[in-house]
């Protein structure tokens, strides 16, 4: 077996974990973005307060420290979570906090006249939200969500510090045993890029497809 | 009140009673009493800040009166009667009565993410529950009426301001409201597009059966189309048939306001 090939296979094994983490954390973040984003605009003030506390907590404390808390501190209180679940949870909640601001600002960017037109046509508030406001707000969200997604992908490297064998973790392992530092981290760099760039292209494609004829 | 004997007999389509409206400390409308007969065309004129837009917006529930009541076709809009007492209306009641009214805005407010056809079909399908093919038929015939049957698959941004406003008119008309508020519908348009929109409005007015509240700065149009013109400045200052109000205004404020238009 040629060593470089061997290295690549092991790195790809870690890549699978990185992709897994990214996909599930992104789905969680997406859902949280909408729930928290809409809660921040709710008429009921306790809901708004909870949403603000949530957002400020996750934005204001370090992602790495949060990971350590969930993986190393919670077990001291008899709460045991697997490294993968901890990674998905914390990444999802973190990027959900950022995403909620994207959702909120996009919804608020839709002119008031759109809601008024819906009211005057006697639509229900839920119809106005789903049929008038969200489709327009979503177009504004896409580019920022795309950026956040790539940011999320790169942040998954942090989970290597809570023993999860993702791409970064595998890289460090192989580097430790082979000492081929340049090749290993060079490959890790290239693999991250190969994951991130299709995301950029995908978001751009989605943006074009959704805005066709309208812009 | 300047209602003639003929209109006094039938129940008014719209009735404002002792309406006051304040935004914070700013008093916009004071003690408005106004009745509009079925199929009557009323033009409301007045300087900016005179409360005329607020008057129209209250009729479609976009502004809530501070005090007083509004009725549409005999039904309270902002209130309902429970055990003989007036209580504030809930969302369900608002929706029921609001269904009788429609509005066209100064800024069109078309839905930019929908084609022209979908803009006009949206409410009939999702609010009135009309089957799609039938709603499509009605939408197309309404768009034909405003001269835009060639633009069905375009998006609002691909149309001129005048065309967009005509779509907005069609969108309001397919709901067949009993009373329509036109809120300065030509004010946001380039001068060369004002004519086409006024022409459509005039056609609707001449069809006769719809009650219209037209808030406008187009004095010639008001004179030509309206049965009655109201001059407002926080309250109703003067009203009457167009020839009387434009030809021989009694109130000094009305005279001053109209003279500014003559000089312009």
Looking at residue A179, its pLDDT comes to 86
Rg (CA), chain B: 19
pLDDT tens digits along A30-42? 999 999 999 999 9
> Please, are residues B54 and B83 in contact by the beta-carbon 8 Å criterion?
no
Asked if B122 and A121 touch (Cβ cutoff 8 Å), the reply is yes
DSSP structure class, residue B12: P
Q: How far apart, in Å, do the first and last CA atoms of chain B sit?
A: 31
Integer Cα distance of A205 and A199 in angstroms: 10
| Residue percentage of chain B with pLDDT more than 70 | 96
Tell whether A110 lies on the interface with B, counting CB pairs under 8 A.
Answer: no
Q: Is the pLDDT of residue B263 over 70?
A: no
Identify the CA nearest to B43 among candidates B189, B262, B238.
B238
Do the Cβ atoms of B109 and A127 come within 8 Å? Answer: no
Nearest by CB to B109, which of A117, A135, A215? A117
Tell whether the model's pLDDT for residue B209 goes beyond 80: yes
Give B139-165 pLDDT, tens digit per residue: 999 999 999 999 999 999 999 999 999
* Helix and strand counts by DSSP (H, E) for chain A: 9, 0
Residues of A in contact with B111 (CB under 8 A): 114, 117, 132, 136
Under a CB-based contact definition with an 8 Å cutoff, are residues A103 and A34 in contact?
Answer: yes
Interchain CB distance below 8 Å, B60 and A120: yes
* ipTM reported for the complex, 2 dp: 0.90
Mutation for B interface: A111, A121, A132, most B CBs within 10 A: A121
DSSP β-bridge partners for residue B212:
B41, B180
**A215 touches B at CB < 8 Å:** yes
Chain B residue numbers with beta carbons less than 8 Å from the beta carbon of A111 are: 109
- Whether the Cβ atoms of residue B16 and residue B32 lie closer than 8 Å to each other: yes
B69 min Cα distance to partner chain A (Å)? 19
Residues A63-109 have pLDDT tens digits of 999 999 999 999 899 888 899 999 999 999 999 999 999 999 999 99
Q: Nearest 5°: phi and psi at B212? A: -130, 135
Residues from chain A contacting residue B123 (CB–CB below 8 Å): 121-123
A2: closest CA of chain B, how far (Å): 56
Q: Does A116 touch chain B (CB under 8 A)?
A: yes
Q: Is A212 on the interface with B (CB under 8 A)?
A: no
Give the gap in angstroms from C-alpha A114 to the nearest C-alpha of chain B. Answer: 6
Residues A116, B62: Cα–Cα separation, whole Å: 7
Residues of B with CB under 8 A from a CB of A: 60-62, 91, 95, 98-99, 101-103, 105, 107, 109-113, 122-123, 126-127, 154-155, 157-158, 171-172, 175
CB contact under 8 A, A117 and B155: no
Distance from CA of B99 to the nearest CA of A (A): 6
- Rg of chain A on CA atoms, in Å: 21
Distance CA B213, CA B72 (A): 13
Q: State the count of interchain CB pairs (< 8 A) between A and B.
A: 61
With an 8 Å Cβ cutoff, are B111 and A132 in contact? yes
- Answer for the pair B42, B226: CB distance below 8 angstroms, yes or no: yes
Strands B236-240, B228-232: parallel, antiparallel or unpaired by DSSP? antiparallel
pLDDT number for residue B82: 85
A155: how many CB neighbours lie within 10 A of its CB? Answer: 21
Instruction: State the greatest distance between any 2 C-alpha atoms of chain A, in Å, as a whole number.
Output: 72
- State the residue for tokens 């340049």: A182
What span, in angstroms and rounded, lies between the C-alpha atoms of B61 and B94?
8
Cβ B46 vs Cβ B238: under 8 Å: no
3-class SS of residue A215: coil
Report whether pLDDT(B2) > 80. no
**Closest to B172 (Cα-Cα) out of B213, B231, B113, B226:** B213
User: What residue ranges define each of the domains in chain A, with the CATH number in brackets?
Assistant: 3-213 (1.10.3720.10)
User: Coil, strand, or helix at residue A35?
Assistant: helix
Count how many residues are written for chain A: 215
Tell me which of A117, A132, A139, A215 to substitute to probe the interface with B (most B C-beta atoms closer than 10 Å): A117
Cβ atoms of residues A99 and A145 within 8 Å: yes
Q: Which of residues 126-185 of A touch B (CB under 8 A)?
A: 127, 131-132, 135-136, 139
What's the pLDDT at A164? Answer: 87
Other beta carbons within 10 Å of B237:
18
pTM over 0.90: no
Chain B residues with CB under 8 Å of A116 CB are 62, 105, 109
Residue B5 clears pLDDT 70, i.e. is over it: no
Angle at B108 between CA B102 and CA B110, to 5 degrees: 90
The number of helices, as runs of H, and strands, as runs of E, in chain B is 10, 12
A136 with B122: Cβ contact below 8 A = no
Alpha carbons within 13 A on the beta-carbon side of A178: 19
Q: What is the dihedral of CA A56, A61, A64, A68, to 10 degrees?
A: -100
Confidence at residue B260, expressed as pLDDT on a 0 to 100 scale: 85
Residue B42 DSSP SS3: strand
Is the pLDDT confidence value at A50 over 80? yes
Residue A16 Cα, gap to closest chain B Cα (Å): 38
């Amino acid at each position: 077996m040629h060593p470089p090939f061997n290295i690549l296979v092991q790195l790809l094994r870690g890549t699978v974990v990185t992709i897994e983490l990214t996909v599930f954390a992104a789905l969680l973040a997406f859902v949280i973005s909408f729930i928290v984003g809409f809660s921040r605009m709710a008429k009921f003030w306790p809901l708004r307060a909870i949403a603000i506390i949530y957002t400020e907590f996750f934005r204001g404390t370090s992602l790495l420290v949060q990971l350590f808390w969930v993986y190393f501190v919670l077990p001291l209180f008899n709460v045991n979570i697997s490294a993968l679940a901890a990674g998905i949870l914390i990444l999802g909640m973190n990027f959900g906090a950022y995403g909620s601001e994207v959702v909120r600002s996009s919804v608020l960017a839709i002119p008031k006249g759109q809601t008024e037109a819906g009211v005057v046509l006697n639509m229900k508030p839920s119809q106005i939200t789903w049929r008038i406001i969200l489709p327009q707000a979503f177009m504004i969200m896409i580019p920022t969500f795309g950026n956040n997604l790539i940011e999320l992908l790169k942040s998954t490297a942090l989970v290597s510090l809570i023993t999860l064998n993702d791409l970064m973790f595998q890289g460090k392992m192989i580097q430790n045993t082979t000492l081929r530092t340049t090749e290993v981290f060079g490959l890790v760099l290239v693999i991250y890029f190969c994951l991130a760039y299709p995301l950029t292209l995908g978001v751009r494609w989605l943006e074009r497809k959704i805005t066709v004829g309208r812009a | 009140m300047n209602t003639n004997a003929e209109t006094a007999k039938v129940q008014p389509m719209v009735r404002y009673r002792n309406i006051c409206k304040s935004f914070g400390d700013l008093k916009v409308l004071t003690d408005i009493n106004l009745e509009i007969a079925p199929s009557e065309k009323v033009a409301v004129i007045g300087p900016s800040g005179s409360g005329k837009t607020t008057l129209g917006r209250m009729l479609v529930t976009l502004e809530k009166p501070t005090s007083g009541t509004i009725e549409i076709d005999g039904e309270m809009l902002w209130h309902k009667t429970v055990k003989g007492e007036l209580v504030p209306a809930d969302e369900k009641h608002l929706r029921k009565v609001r269904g009788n009214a429609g509005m066209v805005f100064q800024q069109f407010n078309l839905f930019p993410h929908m084609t022209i056809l979908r803009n006009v079909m949206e409410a009939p399908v999702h609010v009135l529950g009309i089957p799609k093919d039938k709603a499509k038929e009605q939408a197309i015939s309404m768009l034909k009426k405003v001269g835009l049957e060639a633009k069905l698959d375009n998006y609002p941004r691909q149309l001129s301001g005048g065309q967009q406003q005509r779509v907005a008119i069609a969108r309001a008309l397919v709901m067949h409201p009993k009373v329509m508020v036109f809120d300065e519908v030509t004010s946001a348009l380039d001068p060369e597009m004002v004519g086409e929109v006024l022409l459509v409005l005039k056609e609707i007015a001449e069809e006769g059966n719809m009650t219209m509240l037209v808030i406008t700065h187009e004095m010639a149009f008001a004179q030509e189309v309206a049965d009655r013109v109201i001059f407002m400045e926080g309250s109703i200052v003067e009203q009457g048939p167009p020839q009387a109000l434009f030809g021989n205004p009694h109130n000094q404020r009305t005279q001053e306001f109209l003279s500014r238009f003559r000089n312009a």
